[in-house]
Structure 1
Amino acid sequence: MSQIHANCVRIGAHAVLLRGPSGSGKSGLSLRLIDAGGFLVSDDRTDLVARDGRLIASAPDQIAGLCEVRGIGVVRGLPQKTEGDVRVLIDLVTDPNTVERMPEPDFEEICGIAIPRWTLCASDLAIEAKIGVALALATGGMTLEP
């Protein structure tokens, strides 16, 4: 098992990890994804374990069900799931100019499992849709053209 500084949101049958430094928009983006029908798995720190060839995320016991809403405080009661089958890792940046227009496919190995990784800016107005595309690519619902 490992623990990373990231949020995890379950969207349908799969989950996405949102990783970035403090203030990069992890919790704000998580709220937007939850508002669009997703479920909070973890906020700020995520426990990860390999199970049956899949990367499974959950929240550490002491913060399970909690989410920091910047400007409001720590809240409980958001729609949540106890775990998620992680299929995508999104590294969040604050400067949209650092996001590559046409990046080469990239993966990161976590707990021995290779997960597709993309870098996006949390303030991108289309980020929820882009995360949907990333999940579809990772689960075989879409393909990238060479």
Structure 2
Amino acid sequence: MRKPVVGTAMGLGAALLLTAGMTTASATPPTPPAARAAVQHPVLVDCLWHQRFRPTDFLLACGDGNSILTGMHWTKWNDDTAVGQGVNVVNDCKPYCAAGKFHKYPVTVRLDRPTAWTKHPNVQHFTRMNLTYSDARPEGYTQVMSYPMWN
């Protein structure tokens, strides 16, 4: 007599999972046309391998989170280059990173050298980032810092 109860319970469980899966898929809104059009320009690839277009925040130190761009305002973003202003928030790691303090530095960000992204060859992504500090800068940094972006 227990076999029908177990079979019914398993059947109901499978039906619930199928319904939840269908509901989740149908509840996901389609990508708006404006967002699809925006991706046609080169993108910035973040630490989680997501395409970012004109991000307001961008993590530079993926491993430990000790450097991030915040409050970004982009004045230019085209097929060759992107330029924006924001703040680079950097941990001084004194006496060590877990006990360090974060400091804010105004910065101009320039992205360039777009190329096909290895993960998605039909998507162009910027491969170099230049940070130009307008005044103060983190200890050990030069006025202009250049970083290759991951591919």
User: When the two structures are superposed, what TM-score results if normalisation uses the length of structure 2?
Assistant: 0.29
- Indicate the structure with greater strand content: 1
- Indicate the structure with greater helix content: 2
Higher relative contact order (CA 8 A, sep 6+): 1
